[in-house]
Amino acid sequence: MMPPATQRSNAALEAAPQGRPLELHDPAHGTPDLMSAAAQRGQRDLLVRIIRSYENPIVRAYCRVRFVIIHQDFLNEIGQYLPSHGSVLDIGCGFGLFGLYFAGSAPQRRVQGYDLSPKRVAMARLAARTLGLGNARFDRGDAVRLSLAGSYDAIYALDLVHHLPFERVPGFVAGLHRALRPGGVLLIKDVDRTPAYKRWFTLALDRLMVGWREPVRYWSRAEMREMLRGAGFEVRSHTMRDVLPYPHVLYVCHKPEA
């Protein structure tokens, strides 16, 4: 029998917003078809199994909160750009939450995650073994110092750029451009500077999580797009919905074939 806390978390996941069409807020991009009810149930079951795969109760609680706040459409809005076959790089993977989800939802997708924290990497590795996900690998690595010799079909960095030193970001993005194969896609989800009340709300939570010593610098949409284009990407961006007032922006960056 499941403990009451797990029963409540599963109920919360089942009650999370589901079944709405994706709103990409980019008029150049069409709206994907709604998934079948069976596919949505399968995705929710995967989320529950990922939460249970962590032994640390604090990490499990964190995952419950993340997956309840970040509803299914949010995950699909990112996942729709990832290839179902091929190699995907997860920069700043943390506990492996998103890497496990994207590996578990596409068995032919190979996810390589890097994070600076050895403890988080160890938890991600254990969770992958518990879930039996041989297509998810996690290693320790500093995002701005990684030497990425491989050729990836897709790369994503979620809520990472605003934690990097401002002067290091262009070099970091240039390295990701080199690591992508021609025609590959880079997805960056980060925080816009407007509207101001959303920026201040996000900053308060960031400072609560990382303290005052770590740099936190939000890029405006215009300067982020300019920097990404300067690295050689073709860039589109759109606002992402969320339950909480975060000014999320998803940058969809393609490396030209030629």
CATH number of the domain enclosing 199: 3.40.50.150
Task: Give the span between the Cα atoms of 115 and 121, in whole angstroms.
Answer: 6
Query: What pLDDT score does 63 carry?
Result: 83
Give Cβ neighbours of residue 125 (< 8 Å, ≥ 6 apart): 96, 138
Domain hosting 214: range is 71-92+143-254
Q: Is residue 101 part of a domain?
A: no
- Which residue do the tokens 């690595």 mark? 141
Q: What residue type is 47 in one-letter code?
A: L
**Regions of the chain with pLDDT less than 50:** 1-33
Q: Is residue 147 part of a domain?
A: yes
Task: Give the span between the Cα atoms of 215 and 211, in whole angstroms.
Answer: 9
CB of 203 closer than 8 Å to CB of 174? no
Ramachandran angles phi, psi of 11, nearest 5°: -65, -40
Query: What pLDDT score does 75 carry?
Result: 86
Q: What residue type is 83 in one-letter code?
A: P
Query: What pLDDT score does 40 carry?
Result: 80
Q: Is residue 55 part of a domain?
A: no
Ramachandran angles phi, psi of 160, nearest 5°: -110, -40
Say what the pTM is.
0.81
| Buried/exposed code over 217-255 (b: 16+ C-beta within 10 A; e: otherwise) | ebbebeebbebbeebebebebbebbeeeebbbbbbbbbb
Query: What pLDDT score does 95 carry?
Result: 92
Query: What pLDDT score does 67 carry?
Result: 75
Q: Is residue 19 part of a domain?
A: no
Which is nearest to 80 in space by CA: 160, 185, 180? 185
CA distances from residue 9 to 75, 127, 184 in whole angstroms, order as listed: 18, 18, 37
Q: Is residue 177 part of a domain?
A: yes
Instruction: For residue 185, give both structure tokens.
Output: 């896609």
Which is nearest to 51 in space by CA: 115, 157, 130, 109? 130
Q: Is residue 12 part of a domain?
A: no
| Count: domains in the chain | 1
Q: Is residue 168 part of a domain?
A: yes
Rounded (10°) angle between helices 97-104 and 72-79: 70
Query: What pLDDT score does 43 carry?
Result: 87
For residue 158, the cross-strand partners are 189
